Each structure stands twice: as C-alpha cells, then as structure tokens.
Chains A and B, each alone.
Chain A
Amino acid sequence: QVQIVQSGAEVKKPGASVKVSCKTSGDTFTSYVIHWVRQGPGQGLEWMGWINAGVGNTRYSQRFQGRFAITRDTSTSTAHMELSGLTSEDTAVYYCARSNILGTYYFDYWGQGTLVTVSS
C-alpha cells in the first residue's frame, strides 16, 4: 500500500535554512505530483508548492517565492523541500502530500508531518 514517510523534527535558529524529506513507497513515484503544505500552531492549512515527480517542474505559492525550493530524487522516490531565511513565523508542522498529475489536485495520501521549530 502507499506510504509517505517524512524526516524527523527540526529546531533551527532565525535566519537558518531547513530541509525536510518525503519518501514514498507502494506506487510509481514519477506518476504523481508532491505538494508541501504547512500548519502553524493552532492555524489552518497553507499550501506552499508542488513538484511534478516525473518531469521535475515546480510551482510555488507567491508567498514563498525566492526562499522555498522543492526537489526530487527519483532513484529513492523522495521529494525534498528547503525553506531559507527562517523566522519564528515559520514554526509549523510541514506536510507533504500526493496528488495526481492531471491538475485536479486532491491529496489522497499524506506524510505524517514534520515539526519545524524556529527559535533563538
């Protein structure tokens, strides 16, 4: 069955960067789009961007343009996200989720979430 497993919790200082990984199994990695969604403490869901795992093209929310990047490694069926210039406002649980490639992006499988804490 499909599984998505994310890397562990991170604690970072303001100004630093964080990289979170998202490993999928149980299906063809390159047939899907991987999205990143975050949720601040007590807050709602915020979409950050996606990568087409087959072609490798990306699209990001304007809110994160310039300090956010998604990459993928097809040999390990893993997507990575990197967020730079961290502030306390970036403290959140970061989720990756899978959607089809057709543009009707609904997220049928999610990772377990990775808590990123930004604190001096």
Chain B
Amino acid sequence: DIQMTQSPSSLSASVGDRVTITCRASHNINIYLNWYQQKPGKAPKLLIYGASNLQSGVPSRFSGSGSGTDFTLTVSSLQPEDFATYYCQQSYNTLVTFGQGTKLEIK
C-alpha cells in the first residue's frame, strides 16, 4: 500500500497568514493527489484535485502543487473559516489512502 505522510500534524496560525501543508507519498503517484478540508461534525469537502486543480466554488486563496512523491497545499491569506483539519488523499492504481490530517488552529 502507498503510505501518505502529512506535515505538520498541527499548525497554529493567524488570520491573514500564509500557510503551507506538505504531503509525501511512499511511492511515485504522479499527480493522483487530492486535498480536503473537514470541519467538526461535517463530511470532508474537496478543495484540490489532480494535485493542482481548484474544485469549483473553492476560493482562489487555496492552491496545490507537486507531482511524484511531494505535494503541498497553500492557503495564501487565512480567513476565519479556514480553521479546520486538512487531509491529502492519493488514488494511484485505484487504491486509495489518506494522510493522517493536519489540524489548523487559530493562534
């Protein structure tokens, strides 16, 4: 199985900050990498698919990059509604694994 490792596991930041979350795959997954945001008690919400494609309706302050084994999710200017947990997810070979999550908290 392909393992996904996110870092950091948690992050404190302020409104207006630029933050970056990293996801590393144990094997080359090309660009089969997606990012989700989850708030307590809610289903995850798709933010980025195919490593860098912004899902319809998602604010442009979210962006993704990377290919192969190393990927990043960047929020250019944090808004109050962005404080949540973020997950990466890979789907290489039609098997799926998630990263362990990054909890983004208000400083």
Q: CB within 8 A of A113: which of B32, B43, B97, B101?
A: B43
Interface centre among B50, B55, B98, B99, by most A CB within 10 Å? Answer: B98
- Identify A106's interface contact among B1, B49, B99, B100, CB under 8 A: B49
Contacts of B32 in A (CB 8 A): 103-105
Chain B residues closer than 8 Å to A105, beta-carbon distance? 32, 91, 94, 96
Q: Assess whether A103 is in contact with B94, with CB atoms less than 8 Å apart.
A: yes
A24-32, A39-47, A79-87 - the one binding chain B = A39-47
Which chain A positions have C-beta within 8 A of B45? 110
When the two chains form their complex, are residues A62 and B1 in contact, meaning their CB atoms are under 8 A apart? yes
Interface residues on B, range: 20 to 34
Question: Are B91 and A103 in contact (CB-based, < 8 A)?
Answer: yes
Which of A44, A104, A110 is the most central at the interface, judged by chain B CB atoms within 10 Å of its CB? A104
Once the chains bind, are B96 and A35 in contact (CB under 8 Å)? yes
Chain A interface residue count: which class? 20 to 34
Report the bound CA distance from A102 to B36 in whole Å: 20
If A45-B87, A106-B89, A106-B91 are given as contacts, then 14 extra A-B residue pairs at C-beta distance below 8 Å, sorted by A number, are: A35-B96, A37-B98, A44-B98, A44-B99, A45-B89, A45-B101, A50-B96, A97-B43, A99-B91, A103-B32, A103-B91, A106-B34, A108-B55, A110-B43
* B residues lining the A interface (CB < 8 Å): 1, 32, 34, 36, 38, 43-46, 49-50, 55, 87, 89, 91, 94-101
Residues of A within 8 A of B (CB): 35, 37, 44-47, 50, 59, 61-62, 95, 97, 99, 103-108, 110-113
21 contacts between A and B (CB under 8 A): A44-B98, A45-B87, A45-B89, A47-B89, A47-B98, A61-B95, A61-B96, A62-B1, A95-B44, A103-B94, A105-B32, A105-B96, A106-B34, A106-B49, A106-B91, A107-B46, A108-B46, A110-B43, A110-B44, A111-B43, A112-B43
